[in-house]
Amino acid sequence: GLFLPSYACQTVALVKLFQASVRKKQDGSFEIINQEFEKVLQQYKNYGPGHGYHNNNTIVDGAGGRIIHYPSKDDFTSHGGKKDINKARQKIERPFPTDMDRASSSLDDALKNAVKANYTQDLTGLKNPRILIDLAKYFGRTVWSYPADNSTCSAWLGCSNDYQFNIDSIDYLSSNYAARGVREP
């Protein structure tokens, strides 16, 4: 069977991969410490089509104020298959205030706002998401945070082709952006 990790699981794994691949030197530059791991890390910059976006098994219910890792069929309001979605997975929900500031911003600015910082921690699974700033610098990018609007949206992680490393939770389910129908043994 196939398994697609949640946004939090994927982000934590990406940070571990980053830490095993490169080391930040005192002058702020980076040194590759494991070539094989670094090849995998590069897929978050560009895995071929000009970007490194990776889908995952998380959606965000903006109107209901919920980050949903391993959503079930009832969490998909429309658009696409609804049968047996994550039937074998335990759904994890993280609430956030529906009146949260939804403006996109750099991660550095988002972490200065306590509510956005908590949202980012719950989405990424990281106690200290600042490590993503170093990861983005390694890729020559800026980390940009896109909180969900009042819709149910999928979430993506990785580099876009516009010089950003995105913490993205704004992709509508009406597009082909949301993972569903995840198979497991």
pLDDT in tens, 73-122: 788 766 655 667 787 788 999 999 999 999 999 999 999 999 999 999 99
Is the confidence at residue 127, as pLDDT, over 90?
yes
- Reading the block at residue 83, the tokens are 């049968």
Confidence of residue 1 (pLDDT cuts 50, 70, 90): low
Q: Which of 80, 82, 86, 120 is nearest to 100 (CA)?
A: 120
**Confidence at residue 61, expressed as pLDDT on a 0 to 100 scale:** 93
Cα–Cα distance, 161 to 88 (Å, whole number): 35
In degrees, rounded to 5, the angle at the alpha carbon of residue 169 between the alpha carbons of residues 179 and 161 is 90
Arithmetic mean of pLDDT, 125-148:
95
Partner residues linked to 23 by β-bridges: 31
**Confidence at residue 60, expressed as pLDDT on a 0 to 100 scale:** 92
Confidence of residue 54 (pLDDT cuts 50, 70, 90): confident
**Confidence at residue 38, expressed as pLDDT on a 0 to 100 scale:** 97
Q: What is the pTM of this model?
A: 0.89
Q: H or E element: which one contains 143? A: strand 142-146
**Confidence at residue 138, expressed as pLDDT on a 0 to 100 scale:** 96
**Confidence at residue 177, expressed as pLDDT on a 0 to 100 scale:** 57
Is the confidence at residue 154, as pLDDT, over 90?
no
Is the confidence at residue 150, as pLDDT, over 70?
yes
Arithmetic mean of pLDDT, 54-64:
89
Q: Using an 8 Å Cβ cutoff, are 91 and 114 in contact?
A: no
**Confidence at residue 80, expressed as pLDDT on a 0 to 100 scale:** 55
Maximal CA-CA distance, the chain: 52
Arithmetic mean of pLDDT, 57-86:
82
12-16, 55-59, 93-97: least confidently modelled range: 55-59
CA distances from 169 to 2, 26, 95 (A): 23, 34, 14
Q: What is the mean pLDDT of the chain?
A: 87
Confidence of residue 135 (pLDDT cuts 50, 70, 90): very high
For the chain, the first-to-last Cα distance in angstroms comes to 5
**Confidence at residue 179, expressed as pLDDT on a 0 to 100 scale:** 57
